[in-house]
Amino acid sequence: MTRNVFVIGLGLIGGSIALSCQKAPNTKVFGFDLYEKTRQQALDLNIVHEVVDDVIQAASMADVIIFGTPVNATLDWLEKMKEWPLKQNVIVTDTGSTKGLIMEKGAQLRKKGITFIGGHPMAGSHKSGVQAAKTYLFENAYYILTPLENENEQQVKELEDLLKFTLAKIVRLDAHEHDHMTAVVSHFPHIVAASLVHQLVSEQQNYPMTSMLAAGGFRDVTRIASSNPLMWKDIVLQNRDELLSQLNSWQDEMERVKSILLSRNEETIEEYFASAKDVRDRLPINTGAFYTTYDLYVDIPDYPGVISELTGYLAEEQISITNIRVVEAREDVFGILVISFQNAEDRDKAQKCINSRTKYEMYIS
C-alpha cells in the first residue's frame, strides 16, 4: 500500500524534507507552493514525484501533510484545514521554529479528528529556495517533535518512521520546553548579534575606521545578524515572552561583568574567560542549529596563490566546497582560511587531503 505525503511549501526546508521522504519505501510525495516558478523548479529538480495545483484535493488523498511554510503562514493554513475533507487517520506536522502558537492551533484540529504533531528540524543553510534543497540537509541535526499531551503513540511513531529518512536525530519535547531552549541557543543570540552590529554603527560616527577593522572575531560573532529579517521579525514576536526573560538574564549577566571589571581583580577576570572557554570547548559540533555548517579552519601563510593552491588540491580529489573566506590575512602574519563543506564527510576528506600535501595547521570549531 502506497503512503501519500503532501508537502506544502517547497523552499529549502520543505524541499529537503520532500527529497528525504522520497527515500521511504512505498511512498509518493506530492508538493505545492504558492509560486508557480517554485512549483516548476521542484518538478524539474525531482524534489517531489508530482506537483499539484489543487491543495484541497491533494490533501484529501494524503496520509501525511507537512507544512514547510513560515509559522504565520502555517497558522493560516491550519485554520483553512478545518474545512478540508481529509482522511480519517491523517497526520499533520509543521517545520516552524516556534511551537507555542502552532500547538494551540493544532489542539483545535483535534476536534476535527486531525492529528497534529509539531515539528522543527534544526538545520538550514546560508542559501534559500527550492534550488538549495538537499537530501542530507538534516543529517545528524536534531529534529524536534512536539506532540500534544496524550497523543496517539502509534501515529507519532508513524511520523518518526517517515522522518528517520532525513537522517536527523529525532527527539520529543514539550512545546514550552522547545520555545524556551531555542530562545536560549538560537533566538536570543540573534538579538545579541544584531545589537552588536547596531553598536558598531553608532561607534562609526566618531571612529569611521571601526567597520574596516571589524573582521575576524566580530564577523564570526555577528554572522547570524545577516539572517532574513522578515523571518526573525516573526520569530521574535512569536517567542516574545521567552526572549524578554532571556533579555532580563542577559542584563543581569552584563551587570556581573561590569562588577568584575570594576574590581580590577586579575584572577577573577581570568576565571570568567576561562570558565566560558571550558564550557564553549565542550559544546557538541553540528548537532543541531538553524544554519549547520561544516567548517575547516586552516592557518595559511600570506603569499600569492595560496588559496588557489589549496582549492586545487581539493578539486583534484573531487571534494566539493560550499563557501570559502579569509578571516584574517596580513603581510608576514598567518591568516585563517575558512572552508565550508556540505557535510562532515567532505570536511574530513579535505582535512586529510590538505594534511597530506602541506604542513598547515587546521582545526574544526
Mark which of 248, 281, 314 sits at the end of a domain: 281
Average pLDDT of span 267-274: 95
Q: Give yes or no for residue 105 having a pLDDT over 90.
A: yes
106 & 131 share domain: yes
One domain for residues 231 and 212 = yes
Whether 271 has a pLDDT exceeding 80, the answer reads yes
Name the least confident of 30-39, 62-71, 266-275, 290-299.
290-299
Pick the residue with more confidence: 343 or 173?
173
In a domain, 267, yes or no: yes
Boundary of a domain, candidates 173, 206, 223: 173
Give the pLDDT of residue 156: 97
Say if residue 186 is in the same domain as residue 241. yes
What pLDDT is recorded for position 286?
54
Q: Which three cell numbers stand for residue 22?
A: 522520497
Instruction: Work out the mean pLDDT of the chain and round it to a whole number.
Output: 90
Task: Tell whether 105 and 238 lie within a shared domain.
Answer: no
- Give the confidence band of 340 by pLDDT, cuts at 50, 70, 90: confident
Mean pLDDT, rounded, for 275-280: 92
Domain with residue 313: its CATH number is: 3.30.2130.10
**pLDDT at 327 (0 to 100):** 66
Residues 273-310 as b/e (b if ≥16 CB within 10 A, e otherwise) read eeeeeeeeeeeeebebbbebbbbbebebeeeeebbeeb
Say whether pLDDT at 334 is over 50: no
Q: What's the pLDDT at 218?
A: 85
Q: For position 329, what pLDDT does the model report? A: 41
8 A C-beta contact, residue 174 and residue 152: no
Q: Is residue 164 part of a domain?
A: yes
88 and 166 inside one domain:
yes
Q: How confident is the model at residue 333 (pLDDT cuts 50, 70, 90)?
A: very low
For the segment 187-193, the average pLDDT, to the nearest whole number, is 95
Quick one: what percent of the chain has pLDDT higher than 90? 68
Residue 231: pLDDT band (50, 70, 90) is: confident
In a domain, 74, yes or no: yes
Reported as a single tens digit per residue, the pLDDT across 345-365 is 899 999 999 999 998 888 786
The pLDDT of residue 315: 94
Domain limit, last residue, from 281, 314, 331:
281
Residue 110 belongs to a domain? yes
Q: Flag whether 229 is in a domain.
A: yes
Largest CA distance in the chain: 72
| pLDDT value for 139 | 85
Residue 318 lies in a domain: yes
- What's the pLDDT at 91? 98
> How high is the pLDDT of residue 1?
86
- What are the tens digits of pLDDT across the range 233-253? 989 999 999 999 999 999 999
Question: Averaged over 212-232, what is the pLDDT?
Answer: 82
Residue 288 lies inside a defined structural domain of this protein: no
If one counts the domains in the chain, the total is 3
Query: What's the pLDDT score for residue 9?
Result: 97
For residues 57 and 228, what is the distance between their CA atoms, to the nearest angstrom? 33
If asked whether residues 106 and 161 sit together in one domain, one would say yes
Nearest Cα neighbor of 48 from 88, 75, 69, 21 is 21
Residues 273 and 190 in one domain: yes
For residue 63, the tally of other CB atoms under 10 A from its CB is 19
Average pLDDT (262-279) is 95
Confidence band for 176, pLDDT divided at 50, 70 and 90: very high
Strands (E), the chain: 3-8, 27-32, 50-51, 64-67, 91-94, 115-121, 142-147, 169-172, 294-300, 323-330, 333-341, 362-363
Q: What is the CATH number of the domain that holds 236?
A: 1.10.3660.10
Position 159 in a domain: yes
pLDDT of residue 220: 78
Mean pLDDT lowest for which of 68-77, 124-133, 161-170? 124-133
18 with 157, same domain?
yes
Give me the CATH number covering residue 102.
3.40.50.720
Does residue 45 share a domain with residue 158? yes
Question: What is the reported pLDDT for 67?
Answer: 98
Selected residue with higher pLDDT from 287 and 192: 192
Looking at per-residue pLDDT, the higher value among 328 and 298 belongs to 298
pLDDT of residue 361: 85
> Are residues 137 and 35 part of one domain?
yes
**One domain for residues 166 and 189:** no
Q: Do 274 and 311 reside in the same domain of the chain?
A: no
Domain that holds residue 264: 178-281
